[in-house]
Amino acid sequence: MSMADPILLGVDTGGTFTDFLVLRDGRLRVHKCLSTPTAPEQAILQGIAELGLAPERLRVVHGSTVATNAVLEGRLARTAYVTNRGFADVLTIGRQTRAALYDLQPPPVPPPVPPTLCLEVDGRLGPGGERLAPLTEAALAELVAQLRALAPEAVAINLLFSPLDDADERRIAAMVPAGIFVSRSSAVLPTLGEYERGIATWLNAAVGPRVAGYLARLGQALAPAPVSVMQSSGQTIDSRQAGGRGVHLLLSGPAGGLAGAQAIGRACGLSRLLTFDMGGTSTDVSVIDGQPRLAEQTHVGRYPVNVPAVDVHTIGAGGGSLARVDAGGVLLVGPASAGAEPGPACYGRGGCMATVTDANVVLGRLPITAALGDLRLDRAAAEAALARVAGPLGTSPAAAAEGIIALANAHMTEALQVITLQRGEDPRDYVLACFGGAGGLHVCALAEALGITRALVPMHAGVLSAYGMLAAAPGRQAVHALGVPLCAGGLASAAGLGEALTQQIEVALDREGVASGRQRQCYVELRYRGQSHTLGVPLSGLAEAEAAFHAAHERRYGHRLDLPLEIAAVRAAVQGPAPRLPAPLRRPAARAAPADNVVVVGEVRPVPVWSRAALPAAPLAGPLIVLDADSSTWVARGWQARLDELGHLHLHRQGAPSGA
């Protein structure tokens, strides 16, 4: 790398830590600092200053949680919702599903948009795109007057059948008073289904001012460094374009982790990975089968989001998850978290409630010599926090810690079962790849619970999402409604629409300066006639598309039907070349010996503590602890650990066949 070459910086902002991975002169450097949730850019600027990096030479790729946190915490912009007359209640009514099927007295849930902010206009299209009623100038003038009186921060426009003709939505958008963020459903999610399209449009508008403002501040602070942002689809986009696409950033961080896991799995010759990303606040699980899977529908909080996104299942269980005893004397763990302020008690920052991290410290699986950025662990504070839980349970702090770990593991095992067993997949067919700052402490227990005999703890596992920011390729995905029968003519229409979508993406990537040599893919979203849900299959010949859909439907739902098929939508994806990150071979350790021996609850002898860099070439039998600059791994009894030439840690259940 010459002096003129940029320094690449991957940044992942989490609920507890902000992770940095720097690629400079062919070397990777890791850094962590505590997040600043109220102003995430402050932690980023602090980390860059601590790393001594000059913006003039930087190229930054960022995983942002601003949109996600705004939705989960309800910090949304005051948004007006504009729709056809008679349809103001669509977002409130939704699909009329209940969160708890047998709860006869569910608590009232506030509507996404208050009735006073739901505005209706005349003008109407039919299901074939035909004009039923005009949108008059008088109706537009009345709408503008209402918007001026309400003074919202954002406007979401969602008219019936707008994907077939978006002229009315464009006319309304052009009339919105200056200074108000505008989101059109025909631009955000041009598919049929007014509720899902409306929710996506409303979310895009409601997070838009926050996301756009944050990215503008970050870009200004880092100028002249170019800044890209990870999208939910696992592809990066220029931050100047991302400001208006906040709904596409809701799974930004988890998508980065999957991009990193995919890159490392490919380097290790592993194409089927069951990923497990355990951070301080939450745990994300997913499946990589050659590449990360895209979800047919994701949920953020209670809202369905149908924009392209990696298929990730998230639960509120992380290293910072709080443990408590309820009024009935039952131990509970999560979903509330200690977060970055004050953090787990062992961080020594004023926290007094027990967390999963405190339990690992008390059990000895997380030695106090472990490095967590600039933090130094306080074992006495962790023991005091565990004593507060142990008292009501009538047990010792160590026994309470074991209970906390067992309960957290049960939550995470259930999450892994949701994305495998509940979808007809056998988890034993996969290698469990764990990352995140806390993942390595639980990987063996989770693998055993699922019957998995092989696991992978990548190099830089604690900052793998930041690594994924650098490994991800730039690109975009676009989808558009079609609604035609699956036949030769329908496929011809789909091919034409797919080509048009591809060209739109190509133009956008040209504007962002994405290099040539791009990969292009088109899919058709198929369903049985009368069915609401779709399954995506590659755009191909008629017989191939039919066979692929029937096989996918049987795999997902357990049956196939003898019914006509229809093409509900077409999806196009264009991806630029992925960056080539260095994969330096690991030098043999000059001194293959553990750095320390510690007492671990449940083990009769002190357990050796190894630095990853000091591990020998030959496999080591557990129990042992492996420390990194950004994470720690507990290798339980009955497991073997082997470090490969790239520095990745491979775990194998002793007694299992080597190829299992």
Residue range 475-575 in CATH 3.30.1490? yes
Can you tell me the distance from the alpha carbon of 145 to that of 119, in angstroms, rounded to the nearest whole number? 11
Q: What is the mean pLDDT of residues 259-264?
A: 91
* DSSP string covering 459-491: TTGGGHHHHHHHHPPBEEEEEEEEEEESSHHHH
Sign of the C-alpha dihedral computed for residues 169, 174, 178 and 181 taken in this order = positive
The conformation of residue 418, written as its DSSP 8-state character, comes to: H
Q: Give the closest residue to 630 by CA, choosing from 356, 375, 341.
A: 375
The confidence band for 2, taking pLDDT boundaries of 50, 70 and 90, is very low
Can you tell me the distance from the alpha carbon of 612 to that of 472, in angstroms, rounded to the nearest whole number? 26
Bond before 335 cis per omega within 30 degrees: yes
Answer whether residue 121 shows pLDDT above 70: yes
Q: Which range among 239-253, 327-341, 349-363, 560-574 shows the weakest confidence by mean pLDDT?
A: 327-341
- 7-71+212-249: CATH topology: Nucleotidyltransferase; domain 5 (3.30.420)
Answer whether residue 3 shows pLDDT above 60: no
pLDDT at 315: 80
Place of tokens 């967590």: 372
The confidence band for 65, taking pLDDT boundaries of 50, 70 and 90, is confident
Can you tell me the distance from the alpha carbon of 471 to that of 189, in angstroms, rounded to the nearest whole number? 27
The SS3 assignment for 499 reads helix
Place of tokens 């406007």: 155
Answer whether residue 503 shows pLDDT above 80: yes
Answer whether residue 405 shows pLDDT above 60: yes
Residue type, 69: N
Answer whether residue 356 shows pLDDT above 80: yes
Where do you find CATH 3.30.1490 in the chain? 475-575
Four-CA torsion 412, 415, 417, 422, nearest 10 degrees: 170
Answer whether residue 660 shows pLDDT above 60: no
* DSSP string covering 172-232: HHHHSPTTSEEEEHHHH--SS-HHHHHHHHHHHHHHHHHHHHHHHHHHHHHTTS-EEEE-T
Which residues of 378-507 form beta strands (DSSP E)?
431-435, 454-457, 475-485
Q: What is the mean pLDDT of residues 482-511?
A: 92
pLDDT tens digits for 84-105? Answer: 999 999 999 988 877 778 888 8
Answer whether residue 181 shows pLDDT above 80: yes
Answer whether residue 70 shows pLDDT above 90: no
Answer whether residue 449 shows pLDDT above 90: yes
pLDDT at 532: 82
Q: Between 584 and 151, whose confidence is greater?
A: 151
Across the chain, mean pLDDT equals: 88
pLDDT at 583: 67
Contacts of 530 (CB under 8 A, 6+ apart): 563
pLDDT at 5: 72
Answer whether residue 228 shows pLDDT above 60: yes
Where do you find CATH 3.40.50 in the chain? 72-211
Dihedral pair phi/psi, residue 236, rounded to 5°: -95, 155
Per the CB < 8 A criterion, the answer to whether 238 and 249 are in contact is no
Q: Give the closest residue to 346 by CA, choosing from 337, 335, 359.
A: 359
3-state DSSP helix/strand/coil % of the chain, to nearest 5: 35, 25, 40
Per DSSP, what are the bridge partners of residue 522? 572
pLDDT at 622: 84
Can you tell me the distance from the alpha carbon of 612 to that of 459, in angstroms, rounded to the nearest whole number? 9
- Which overall architecture, per CATH, does domain 72-211 show? 3-Layer(aba) Sandwich (3.40)
Where do you find CATH 3.30.420.40 in the chain? 7-71+212-249
How far is the CA of 399 from the CAs of 346, 419, 607, in angstroms?
18, 31, 19
Which residues of 15-101 form beta strands (DSSP E)?
17-24, 27-34, 58-63, 79-84
pLDDT at 379: 92
pLDDT-above-70 percentage for the chain: 96
pLDDT at 586: 62
pLDDT tens digits for 562-595? Answer: 999 999 999 999 988 888 777 666 665 656 777 7
The confidence band for 156, taking pLDDT boundaries of 50, 70 and 90, is very high
pLDDT tens digits for 184-224? Answer: 999 999 988 899 999 999 999 999 999 999 999 999 999 99
